Amino acid sequence: MSDSSRDTPQGAGWGSAEPGAYKQLMPDHVEKLSWLNPRTLWAARNGVLASWFGDPTGRTRDRWVARRAAAGAPADKVIRRDGTDRFSFMVIGDTGEGDGGQYAVVPGFLKVSQDTDFAVIASDVIYPVGSAEDYGDKFFRPYQDYPAPIYAIPGNHDWYEDLGAFMRVFCDTPPLDHGPRPRPLGRAWWRALLWHRARPTDEQRLAAARALRSAPGQQAAQPGPYWAIDAGPVRIVGIDTGLLGTIDAGQGAWLREVSRDPKPKILITGSPLYVDGEHHPCAIEGGGTVDEIVRDPDHHYVAAIGGDIHNYQRYPVDVDGRTIQYVVAGGGGAFMHATHTIPRVSVGGVTERDFRCYPLRGDSLAFYSHLYGRRLRLPRLLDLTEAEATAIVAERLGIEPGRKPGSDARVTRRTRLVASLLGTGGRPDRTSRFRLPVHKVYTQLFSPGSATYSPPFFKCFLRLDVAPEEVRLRCFAATGNRAQEVDPPVEDEVVIPLK
């Protein structure tokens, strides 16, 4: 097995590594997606409009679900897969930017996924707004050689065109009409006036894209944007958290009902419940939270896996004497969200000793220091080596680093300055002079434009192997370098008991 980032800098992708073969899989022309481009931000405006003028996704989702039910989808929205009591599946989140970062995941994903029964995309299948025209290069092409079905739950970006393309691709459902016009000058009227809506679908283009995954074994028809899969000894429950990271009352009632089944369960959600050292229980319209359902011992949840944040994190939370693994798995292709901004973890009884993340915080800081050093043309000031970054992170958080820094690592006034400028987390009692903790200020101001187009990319994906007595969850790395393509390293592994 190859070195991981916890073993050596080379295992993390640093050094003079041989580039991988992922570029051979890419289209000849790739349009680089920039989150600093005003046109991109304007196209993706619906999340802001929903927060200002009210969130319409619950009503729209109800219409989609009713249409699927009328077409014969099962009323309980459960997909029943026949098979043995042992099976394997993949989870990959936040995939579809369509650039090198997404395609760099594909070789390792295809290698690790051999003999798996299906895959699940956990949030944000397509960026920036979930358009049908983007599915060819951002879904069908990269995963054309994965021979099994791919299920998905939508993320907020898939909702930026009212989920139309997602429902067409994954549920084979035609578009909705816009519904009745709202009363003039009310909140709903202003929202409708400014709302971004999908352009008409190019049917020939979509049909050509679909042909890339047209084998019978690749087909999967979902009962809707939220669903459950009964497979072997477990039930996998996927929920749709819409534009604003919540679920509507109807989906909440379904979640409570589907969770009563006695099987052990794994939740897949577009909004992680533990992330960046914080607890986000996910509100349900009308009262209650998703995490209350997950924590109920009668529901037998053993894990909750969420996308949306573009890295890997794991929090083993003790809930009345049993451990639920809360996982962030959004590193499947979109630009990397920093991990060095995560403060020293102390949440839900989880401390640094139990917490895991990928990339390691030191690698994240080195990555961002190089990125901004190059963009601002200040490499001598901002660039940190991976050893320097690892050392300063360990000092600021007061932790043992995930990988020992090299002998040349020195903490200097410059490394401390760069760590502060780039929002490196600290101990829980240390916050910025701003009202928000420094890692939140950094994330809100800088992360949305932080795409990069050369390795190491620090992407990841999960493989889960299910047996009657346990689930083995492994996080694999994808850097864009050949060494990690040929033998994808395991960055984290945990065995989850089912009994």
Top-confidence residue, 219 or 405 = 219
* DSSP letter (8 states) at residue 456: -
Provide the pLDDT for residue 182: 81
> pLDDT tens across 303-325, in order?
999 999 999 999 999 999 999 99
Q: Is the pLDDT of residue 432 over 50?
A: no
* DSSP letter (8 states) at residue 242: T
Provide the pLDDT for residue 82: 79
> pLDDT tens across 333-387, in order?
999 999 999 999 999 999 999 999 999 999 999 999 998 888 888 888 999 999 9
Provide the pLDDT for residue 169: 96
Q: Which two tokens stand for residue 144?
A: 């054309």
Q: Tell me the percentage of the chain whose pLDDT exceeds 90.
A: 78
Q: Which two tokens stand for residue 319?
A: 């809930």
Give Dmax (Cα) for the chain: 69
Q: Which two tokens stand for residue 464?
A: 């889960």
State whether residue 49 is helix, strand or coil.
Answer: helix
Provide the pLDDT for residue 440: 52
Nearest to 101 by CA among 370, 386, 310: 310
Q: Where do the domains of the chain lie, and which CATH numbers do they carry? A: 22-338+454-497 (3.60.21.10), 361-438 (no CATH)
The angle subtended at Cα 252 by Cα 250 and Cα 258, nearest 5°, is 105
> pLDDT tens across 121-141, in order?
999 999 999 999 999 999 999
Per-residue exposure over 329-343, b if at least 16 CB sit within 10 Å of its own CB, e if not: bbbbbbbbbbbbbbb
State whether residue 356 is helix, strand or coil.
Answer: strand
Provide the pLDDT for residue 433: 40
